[in-house]
Amino acid sequence: MILKSVGVFSVAKIMGTLYAAIGFIVGCFFALFSVVGAGLAGGQEGVFALMFGVGAVFILPVFYGVMGFVVGALMSVLYNFVAGVAGGIELNLE
C-alpha cells in the first residue's frame, strides 16, 4: 500500500490540536516559573511576572495551535506535491 496523498485539512486539524496541547504544557511551565519569579522578586516586578505567567497559559496554546494548523497544512501540501513526483510512502499494514 502506498500513501500518495494526505488530506490537507485533516492533517492541519490534527497538527493544530497536538500543538495546542503542547502549548498548554509549555504555558503551564511558564506559569510555574513566573509564580516562583514573582515570589522572589516581589513588588511591581512580581505582579508583572505573575500576570505574564497566567497569560502564558491562555496565549501559548492559541499561538501554538494556530502555528501547528498553518504548518501542518503547508507540510501536507508539500507532501502531496513531493509524493506525486517521488511516488509516496510505502506502508505495510497488518
* Alpha-carbon span 26 to 61, nearest angstrom: 8
| Whether the Cβ atoms of residue 23 and residue 92 lie closer than 8 Å to each other | no
| Grid cell listed for 93 | 499494514
* Alpha-carbon span 63 to 67, nearest angstrom: 6
* Alpha-carbon span 44 to 92, nearest angstrom: 60
Q: Per residue in 17-70, pLDDT tens?
A: 999 999 999 999 988 888 777 777 666 666 777 777 778 888 999 999 999 999
* Alpha-carbon span 31 to 51, nearest angstrom: 9
Name the residue ranges covered by the structural domains of the chain.
18-76
Say which residue, 1 or 25, is predicted with more confidence: 25
